[in-house]
Structure 1
Amino acid sequence: MPDSRSPRSVTDVLRAPRFWLAPIVVVSALMSLLAALYLGGILNPRESLNSYPIVLVNQDLGDVVESDGETQEQNFGNDIAEGLVAGIDADQIDLKQTGPAEAQQLLASGEAYGSIVIPSDFTKRALILARASVVAGDVDKPIITVNTNPRAGAFSVSLTQQIAETALSEVNSTVGSELTAQVESQLEGSDTVLSGASRLALAQPIDIITTAYDPLPDGTGGGLSAFYYALLLVLAGFTGATIVNALVDGLLGFTPTEFGPRVIYRGATRISRTGTLAVKWAIMLVVAAIVSALYLSISTSLGMPSPNSLGLYLYSAFAITAVGVTALSVMSVFGTAGLLINLIVFIVLALPSSGGTVPLEASPGIYSWLAQFEPMHQILLGTRAILYFHGRPDAGLLQAVTMTGVGLLIGLALGLVFTRVYDRKGLDRATAE
């Protein structure tokens, strides 16, 4: 229906406050939200710790010591375990005591960011160190091993090291004080004097060794390749849908097509909203299959290891399709405003809540809440499981496939329901004002 209103002059348009305020307010609000979310998630990870999962494995068998002519059992490993549990804030650190087999299972599936392992001969070595302080001979310090999990996240490696070092430094001093007291009690009444060097050795008796559990191979960006690959999939779906939407609308004559200074106005095609959306979905499906193959080819040619290329290709195509279909549905339902909605959902809120850079357990609680439904986090779990955890379902792949499928169904339902309602009400794009 032609617009009967007289055209407005440029002066009238420029004088309207809404013309200036609308873009300024929208952009300023969006950028402020972006800054608050991105900076808020990385500035103080230690202060934002919430149930950060670390495993404690105590294998110490203990030893027998003599005191005042009597023998008694001594187990420093149990003392250390109790001290760690008592000294760590349970709300911040989820310190789970397990056996070695379960600890490996949790690390291998990415459910734990690290482990603290007390070996079976810890007490024996500690007592030998105490005796060596007054008797000449070579001796090794007792060892506690801190295993980081680089496959669970690049940032988690340094964060796990900091947490473990802070907790074990107090343990080291406590064990040192106990060993020193034992040696001094045994030397009472004798002519032997504990030397200064021996006191220094006993004051910090534990040798803390940090090592990576199942280190990542070269070509993984230090554990960031999964995050960036997931980001590429989201961008392929979001950006791809935006481009498909604009090109198809232009070719169907609903919007003008511009090539530099040339503007082409085509007559609007007589096609329903539902039919238009179905065409866009079909194109997006083909785009997903092609882009997924291109991503795989480019990444492997650049040296990124791909132990399960078929699984990565299939899930990538599935993820791109889910994001693209949903983004197209949102634009079909909300029109131009759908572009802004998609930007907020798929980019602004998605990146900081993905858990790809800073673990969600080290981020403010709102990020964990967003991660429950934000597509970026689900796609990251899938790509990380395929690239780093041998495609294990319990490493996040099952959750990723399930949630990606749910997102796809929501996108299909959203688009079909609303476009059919619009068609039934006669809101034809070819004649709408």
Structure 2
Amino acid sequence: MNGIRPFRVLRARPLWIASGVITGVLALLFGLFYVGPNIDPAGHTKNLPVGLVNSDKGASAGGKQINLGAQITGSIKTSTASGGKIDWKVMDEKEVQEELGKGKLYGALVVPADFTLSVTALTGSSATDKPVRPQLTVLTNQSAGGIGSNIARHATTTAAEGASLELGEQLTAQAQAQQAKLPTAARVLLADPAAVTAKDGHPLDSHSGLGMSAFYYALVLVVCGMLSANVISGQVDHALGYTHNDMGPLRIHRPLIKATRVQSLAMSSTLMAALSLLMGTLVMVGTIGIMGMDASHLPLLWLYSVAAIAVAGIGALALLAVFGTPGMLVVTLVFIAMAVPTAGATTPIESLPAFYRWLAEFEPMRQIVGGVRSILYYDAQGDSGLTRGWVMMAVGLAAAALFGFGMTSWYDRKGLHRTPAGAEHKAAVSA
């Protein structure tokens, strides 16, 4: 006992400075990474992929064959009204359904087969007091993300309505030039001939969280790996005698078993890999077995879940081994603060500022979300995100191993041991 009162430590300026700098930087970075990219997703949107389908078979009018559907899709394709936010993909209906079913499109606009026939019926001899208004269909894709689907729906609906008004001006002018006598109802519809309706282009099951279950499931996998790394690292250090373990009012010490940093990381990684089997199983039991989340390809989902937890956990262990006590802050920034906003699940990658798009290329959450989304929503198709998920997890595991074991090996070679030479710990349990 040195007689100094414990609370006098609060007078120490370095304590306040160090704590203030660390917590302040952490708060600033979380604000920048978490809130920053989501403030104006519509304003940052660039080249959001949306399908454009012309199924119109055309019709004969005035002695010549015309195709008003081609005119509308061509007008939308070349229009600059979207300001580069939408990347219109011209394709047929089958291709659109395939791309929606892989999450590669956020929506689509479909011109029906009888569009020209329905429009010309408004001006032809068959025009009646009860004309039928042709339909343009906007397909949404909630499975690709709610914000992205909403941005695509708004842009597509606006483009379709604008194209309809443009076509209406042309048809009205033609009818006036031909001095055609049309019923009142037909004249009104001719000014804006197409009705725009929206429907889900890739419906999901009711227990899919409105397209968000894949994101939350992937988040659980990453958090399990990240937090388990902290637990496992601490338990290995306690088992080796490098740290004490508080169990309620008890403080337990174990005899020191000297181990190199490489050996400690190897033991922690082995434990993480083994326990990932348990955690992956229990995540599925909780989400699917107890809560009833819609899921298919269960063996594949289990394998992917185990791998994702193991990779996230070993990556976190590598950061903890290299950075020590500040490692958990680094882990939190890498696996949560920077990863969640760039996952492409809430806000599409195409709607993020450029810096965050760059982060999304390698941040772990995006890769894991893509694989889970493929398994849950897209029939586990490789090119719907599953192949990328496996490849990037393998790359991440290799990078974590090289960084973690490379740096700890260098520490060991430099003699930067965790305890001074000759230090000993005696087993003790004190109340």
TM-score (norm 2): 0.91
Instruction: Please tell me whether residue 56 in structure 1 is matched to residue 45 in structure 2.
Output: no
Offset, 1:138: 4.2
Q: Which sits farther off after the overlay, 369-378 or 256-265?
A: 256-265
SS state at 2:128 partner: coil
SS state at 1:57 partner: strand
Instruction: Please tell me whether residue 395 in structure 1 is matched to residue 391 in structure 2.
Output: no
Structure 1 residue aligned with 2:399: 410
Instruction: Please tell me whether residue 274 in structure 1 is matched to residue 262 in structure 2.
Output: yes
Structure 2 residue aligned with 1:108: 101
Offset, 1:326: 1.2
Instruction: Please tell me whether residue 125 in structure 1 is matched to residue 113 in structure 2.
Output: no
Instruction: Please tell me whether residue 368 in structure 1 is matched to residue 357 in structure 2.
Output: yes
Native 8 Å contact 2:100 2:106 kept in 1: yes
Letter in 2 for 1:267: P
SS state at 1:46 partner: helix
- Give the % identical residues: 34
SS state at 1:130 partner: coil
Q: Which sits farther off after the overlay, 81-90 or 42-51?
A: 81-90
Structure 1 residue aligned with 2:231: 243
Q: Report the Cα distance in structure 2 between the residues aligned to 1:416 and 1:363, rounded to whole angstroms.
A: 34
Offset, 1:233: 0.6
Q: Report the Cα distance in structure 1 between the residues aligned to 2:122 and 2:4, rounded to whole angstroms.
A: 91
Native 8 Å contact 1:268 1:430 kept in 2: no
- Provide Cα deviations, 1:320-355, integer angstroms capped at 9, x if missing partner: 111111111111111112111111101110010111
Instruction: Please tell me whether residue 141 in structure 1 is matched to residue 133 in structure 2.
Output: yes
SS state at 1:391 partner: coil
Which structure 2 residues correspond to residues 2-401 of structure 1 after superposition, within 5 A?
13-66=9-62, 71-88=63-80, 89=82, 91-131=84-124, 135-136=127-128, 138-187=130-179, 192=181, 195=184, 197-301=185-289, 302-401=291-390
Q: Report the Cα distance in structure 2 between the residues aligned to 1:373 and 1:397, rounded to whole angstroms.
A: 15
Q: Report the Cα distance in structure 2 between the residues aligned to 1:386 and 1:401, rounded to whole angstroms.
A: 12
Count of paired positions: 419
Offset, 1:141: 1.2
Letter in 2 for 1:343: T
Q: Report the Cα distance in structure 2 between the residues aligned to 1:359 and 1:428, rounded to whole angstroms.
A: 46
Native 8 Å contact 1:184 1:194 kept in 2: no
**2:413 aligned to which of 413, 416, 424:** 424
SS state at 2:121 partner: helix
Offset, 1:265: 3.1
Q: Which sits farther off after the overlay, 292-301 or 174-183?
A: 174-183
Letter in 1 for 2:252: I
Native 8 Å contact 1:131 1:183 kept in 2: no
Native 8 Å contact 2:143 2:212 kept in 1: no
Q: Report the Cα distance in structure 1 between the residues aligned to 2:257 and 2:154, rounded to whole angstroms.
A: 63
Native 8 Å contact 2:371 2:385 kept in 1: yes
Go from structure 1 to structure 2 and tell me whether the alpha carbon gap of 1:106 and 1:8 turns closer, same or farther (over 3 Å shift).
farther
Q: Report the Cα distance in structure 2 between the residues aligned to 1:287 and 1:392, rounded to whole angstroms.
A: 28
Q: Report the Cα distance in structure 2 between the residues aligned to 1:381 and 1:346, rounded to whole angstroms.
A: 16
Native 8 Å contact 2:129 2:186 kept in 1: no
Offset, 1:381: 0.5
Q: Report the Cα distance in structure 2 between the residues aligned to 1:248 and 1:161, rounded to whole angstroms.
A: 52
Q: Report the Cα distance in structure 2 between the residues aligned to 1:357 and 1:348, rounded to whole angstroms.
A: 14
SS state at 1:129 partner: coil
Q: Report the Cα distance in structure 2 between the residues aligned to 1:334 and 1:298, rounded to whole angstroms.
A: 34
- Provide Cα deviations, 1:164-191, integer angstroms capped at 9, x if missing partner: 1111121121112122222222326xxx
Go from structure 1 to structure 2 and tell me whether the alpha carbon gap of 1:379 and 1:194 turns closer, same or farther (over 3 Å shift).
same
Offset, 1:252: 1.8
SS state at 1:47 partner: helix
Offset, 1:425: 2.6
Native 8 Å contact 2:140 2:202 kept in 1: no
Go from structure 1 to structure 2 and tell me whether the alpha carbon gap of 1:257 and 1:193 turns closer, same or farther (over 3 Å shift).
closer
- Provide Cα deviations, 1:366-398, integer angstroms capped at 9, x if missing partner: 221111110000000010011111110000100
Q: Report the Cα distance in structure 2 between the residues aligned to 1:75 and 1:170, rounded to whole angstroms.
A: 18
Go from structure 1 to structure 2 and tell me whether the alpha carbon gap of 1:18 and 1:51 turns closer, same or farther (over 3 Å shift).
same
Native 8 Å contact 1:130 1:180 kept in 2: no
Q: Report the Cα distance in structure 1 between the residues aligned to 2:348 and 2:384, rounded to whole angstroms.
A: 15
Measured on the aligned residues, the alpha-carbon RMSD in Å equals 2.1
Q: Report the Cα distance in structure 2 between the residues aligned to 1:415 and 1:401, rounded to whole angstroms.
A: 21
Offset, 1:294: 0.5
Offset, 1:36: 2.4
Letter in 2 for 1:272: T
- Provide Cα deviations, 1:118-158, integer angstroms capped at 9, x if missing partner: 122211110012337x8435432112111111221232232
SS state at 1:358 partner: coil
Offset, 1:163: 1.0
Offset, 1:72: 2.7
Offset, 1:11: 7.4
Letter in 1 for 2:37: G
SS state at 2:65 partner: strand
